[in-house]
Amino acid sequence: MTDKKTFLSAALAGLIACTGPAFAQGMPDGAQSDPNTVNPFAFAKSDAKEAMLEAQKAEAAAAGDRVIGGEVAADGAWPWQVALMVAGQPSTPDAQFCGGSLVLDTWVLTAAHCIYMADGNGGNFQLEPGQFDILVGTNTIADGQGDRVPVAGVYRHPEYDDRLFDNDIALIKLARAPSAAYQTINVPDTEFGEQLDQQGVPTIVTGWGLVNGAQRTEAMMQAEIQIISRDACNSAMMEARAGFAAPRVMEAAGAFQLDQRQTEEVWSEMLARAPLPLSPNMICSGTFEGGKTSCQGDSGGPLVVPLTDGSYIQAGVVSWGLVGNGSTTCAEDAMFSVYTKASKFVPWLNQTVSSN
């Protein structure tokens, strides 16, 4: 079995997290997390790279159709996955607006944009605990399924940029431990996080997002995709931006009566000044042929990497994505999704949990 190591501040020494297998069918009703627990954020050792690479080869060999282009998750699979639900509404897909993952018994990891959003008047607001709750312990969003747990606190990263989606990460504190069966998932340390962020590493994204870009689903979906290198992802993103901007530049050039040389100079300067879409706080996953990625409603959910001991580790948090040229929905031509790189935020995770 892959070795694990624990890394935490003294203030967190009493908290626990589960490192059990991916399926929870065998857990009895009302079960909490696995009794064979370690301390929170039990980051995998760097020497787990070999196990990860073995899993990579096995997953790549079995890769097929790929929650867009994915499939319905088996009952009890991905027991750390949770749904953010509008408080006071029945448990239906229309009440679900984001995903998340249990990283501790009473802490959920999600995206900052899930809990901090536009108010429609040019400003932003942060959700308060009473405005939403967390559905735990079910793969089906329906009344009578799982446990709707009240929220006690909401904490977004202080440097979250809602224009660029940088530092797109948040923690939600639950008012109590869930009564439904669940497990928690680990986040990698910085070194192992870098090893996971390599072209071709197999990943799995889960959630209740729009199916085929349009239809909401009760059933949790899963999709097998792979890490795309930051350079390749940035190139594709910049090309997409250029394709969108080019007609507008030509319109402006005509309006200002610029000749070809002047137009080319303006275009070159604009491209040189454009920031790269992916910051070092992000990772990219998907497929070059498109049609296999995350979609609206999956936001905040986990991107996990399989390890050969049967466990998983959370490499990313669903943040934003790229669709094919000419498309406005994350449907069949969806290409890449961008994820907050969880390993970059270990100090903030520790500090937030220990002080709240």
Q: Which CATH number fits domain 10-232+277-355: 2.30.40.10, 3.10.180.10, 2.40.10.10, 3.40.50.300?
A: 2.40.10.10
Q: Residue 153 has which token pair?
A: 């606190």
Q: Residue 165 has which token pair?
A: 């989606």
Across the strands, what pairs with 23? 77
Q: Could you tell me whether strands 282-286 and 334-341 are parallel, antiparallel, or unpaired per DSSP bridges?
A: antiparallel
Is the CB of residue 310 less than 8 Å from the CB of residue 22? yes
pLDDT of residue 232: 80
Is the CB of residue 301 less than 8 Å from the CB of residue 206? yes
Within 8 A by CB and 6+ apart from 180, the residues are 30, 136, 137, 138, 146, 147
Tell me the C-alpha distance between 220 and 134, whole Å. 15
Tell me the C-alpha distance between 196 and 199, whole Å. 9
Stated as kind and residue range, the H or E segment containing 193 is helix 190-196
Mean pLDDT of 218-226: 84
The reported pTM is: 0.74
Note the pLDDT tens digit of each residue in 103-132: 999 999 999 999 998 887 888 899 999 999
* Mutual angle of helices 230-255 and 260-273, in 10-degree steps: 140
pLDDT band at 41 (very low <50, low <70, confident <90, very high): low
Per the prediction, the chain carries an average pLDDT of 73
Q: Residue 326 has which token pair?
A: 């000419």
Within 8 A by CB and 6+ apart from 71, the residues are 65, 221, 222, 223
Domain residues of the chain, as ranges?
10-232+277-355
Mean pLDDT of 82-105: 93
Q: C-alpha distances in angstroms, 316 versus 21, 169, 203, 283, 338?
A: 19, 10, 10, 7, 9
| Residue 312, Cβ density class (10 Å: 0-12 exposed, 13-18 middle, ≥19 buried) | buried
Note the pLDDT tens digit of each residue in 173-185: 999 999 999 999 9
